């Protein structure tokens, strides 16, 4: 288990935390938590503000490939795969690799890239529809914290269960009071978010031995 930033090549955004906080209402949270069309294609206050493929996951896939030694013989599961953009880049960058994706959003799966539609399905991370030790690498980027604490723990156990080699997850977190305040103001969908140290305690509690990093706005 290691804290490692494998998303360091992902494009960084300049987030107007204070500006958005002044506009967000309970209704925005409610719409976002539905993870439907508005979350992906609607206003930035309820989600992505337009979720389109632009190749930005390619550099991250290369980081995963090099760090975990992935080859055409490997298999990867993306939990919270949305429209399958990262899965598509796995296929493109590592031809022959076996991919699978799962997402809570029926809208996202219905609108996934054609190249990965056959490998993506609607489902909940707390109960993964795969046998034990099914994948060489299990990835979940800013997804598991969208579950309430009990189900979040269950989902992390599921990540551990279906991985036969490696796992990498990122979660909403903070290291100090300033980052905590920004997280509370920025959060739109997460139901479980806590300090870095508390997440590490949770990992020990549930028996998670994979790698991890944080989303800190």
Alpha carbons 113 and 87: distance in angstroms, whole number: 9
Domains of the chain (ranges; CATH) run 54-215 (3.40.50.150)
- Provide the token pair at 141: 């980027």
Indicate the helix (H) or strand (E) that contains 137.
strand 135-141
**pLDDT tops 90 at residue 1:** no
By CB neighbour count within 10 A (0-12 exposed, 13-18 middle, 19+ buried), where does 174 fall? Answer: buried
* Residues 104-135 pLDDT 10s: 999 999 999 999 999 999 999 999 999 999 99
Q: Say what percent of the chain tops pLDDT 90.
A: 97
Alpha carbons 195 and 198: distance in angstroms, whole number: 5
Alpha carbons 73 and 51: distance in angstroms, whole number: 30
* Residues 11-45 pLDDT 10s: 988 889 999 999 999 999 999 999 999 999 999 99
Alpha carbons 159 and 140: distance in angstroms, whole number: 9
pLDDT at 139: 98
Nearest to 100 by CA among 87, 113, 115: 87
Neighbours of 112 (CB within 10 A): 24
Give bridge partners of residue 140 from the DSSP assignment.
169
Residue with tokens 């107007």: 16
């Amino acid at each position: 288990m290691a804290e490692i930033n494998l998303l360091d090549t992902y494009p960084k955004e300049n987030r107007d935390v204070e500006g958005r906080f002044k506009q967000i209402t309970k209704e925005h949270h409610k719409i976002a938590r539905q993870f439907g069309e508005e979350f992906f294609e609607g206003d930035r206050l309820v989600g992505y503000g337009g979720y389109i493929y632009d190749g930005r996951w390619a550099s991250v896939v290369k980081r995963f490939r090099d760090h975990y030694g992935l080859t055409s013989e490997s298999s990867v599961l993306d939990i919270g795969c949305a429209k399958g953009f990262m899965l598509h880049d796995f296929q493109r960058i590592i031809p022959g690799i076996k991919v699978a994706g799962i997402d809570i959003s029926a809208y996202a799966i219905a609108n996934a890239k054609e190249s990965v539609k056959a490998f993506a399905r609607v489902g909940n991370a707390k109960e993964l529809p795969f046998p034990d030790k099914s994948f060489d690498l299990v990835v979940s980027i800013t997804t598991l914290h969208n579950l309430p604490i009990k189900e979040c723990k269950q989902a992390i156990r599921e990540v551990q269960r279906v991985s036969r080699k490696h796992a990498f997850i990122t979660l909403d977190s903070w290291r100090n009071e300033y980052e905590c305040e920004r997280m509370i103001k920025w959060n739109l969908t997460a139901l479980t978010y806590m300090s870095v140290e508390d997440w590490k305690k949770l990992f020990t509690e549930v028996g998670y031995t994979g790698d991890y990093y944080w989303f800190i706005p």
